[in-house]
Amino acid sequence: MKIVIIGGTGLIGSKTVDRLRKRGHDVLPASPNSGVNTVTGEGLAQALAGAEVVLDLANSPSFEDQAVLDFFGASGRNLLAAGKAAGIRHHIALSVVGTERLQESGYFRGKLLQEKLIRESGLPYTIVHSTQFLEFLPGIAKSATSGETVRLSPAYVQPIASDDVADAMTDVALSPPANGIVEIAGPERVALSELVRRYLRAAGDARSVEVDPEARYFGARLDEKSLVSDANPRLGAITFEQWMSAQRSAA
């Protein structure tokens, strides 16, 4: 089966390309680096010709509010129109657990627009909601840093390793459309401030974490359960400790 992976050079995209190829599928990684641009439409019709499944694993190059909205709006409209023209049988996108609860954030307004366009497209679809990737911990810490202090909410997170996310995306690509949302999460629930503290300590990073229930997450105020799923998510297997020791070995 021909499967197109938009954002196939990215963190989740590249791992999903490898997994689906190992299962014997004809996988096309598509991104600006390979001449396929969902924002301009360049190369989309050719990439999707003959494909049955499209996975949208792209991300906005800029996290600035308007840029994210423009990216997911244009990218979603172009990709869904090209998918319809090509007769795609399953459109899959990766979004974030709690997107609908985080609408003070420009990034999450962009993700909700992406989801809305998919739901209204008429194409058979699955939207996968994932919790935060463990690989995103440095980005979370950076976004909350001022001087040597990282100010973070003690809201719960249940982070998942990118390998577990790619396993889930592979299974979804080979399953019938859910025509709804399926949720995935990591194996352990922990306070965001505590998780980042553990990460910084393990990474030998001297910054300190200040716990502040009012601290925003990419512009959104959090309550205790904003970032976690109560919808019986599929759980990944890789814990923070296992992931951290793999990072150390790789380094």
Contact residues: ligand NAP, CB under 6 A: 6-7, 9-13, 31-33, 36-39, 57-59, 61, 94-96, 111, 130, 132-133, 136
Among candidate residues 232, 199, 15, 218, the one with its CA nearest the CA of residue 107: 218
Residue bearing tokens 């939207």:
127
Q: Closer to ligand NAP at the Cβ: 12 or 102?
A: 12
Tell me the closest approach of the beta carbon of residue 222 to ligand NAP, in angstroms. 15
Element (H, E) at 12: helix 11-22
Q: Using an 8 Å Cβ cutoff, are 11 and 130 in contact?
A: no
Assign residue 7 a region (left: φ > 0; alpha: ψ between -120 and 50; beta: otherwise): left
What residues contact 204, with CB distance under 8 A and at least 6 apart?
none
Tell me the closest approach of the beta carbon of residue 211 to ligand NAP, in angstroms. 21
- Which residue minimizes CB distance to ligand NAP? 10
Tell me the closest approach of the beta carbon of residue 148 to ligand NAP, in angstroms. 24
Q: Using an 8 Å Cβ cutoff, are 92 and 128 in contact?
A: yes
Q: Closer to ligand NAP at the Cβ: 12 or 206?
A: 12
Q: Closer to ligand NAP at the Cβ: 148 or 200?
A: 200
Tell me the closest approach of the beta carbon of residue 239 to ligand NAP, in angstroms. 16
Q: Closer to ligand NAP at the Cβ: 148 or 170?
A: 170
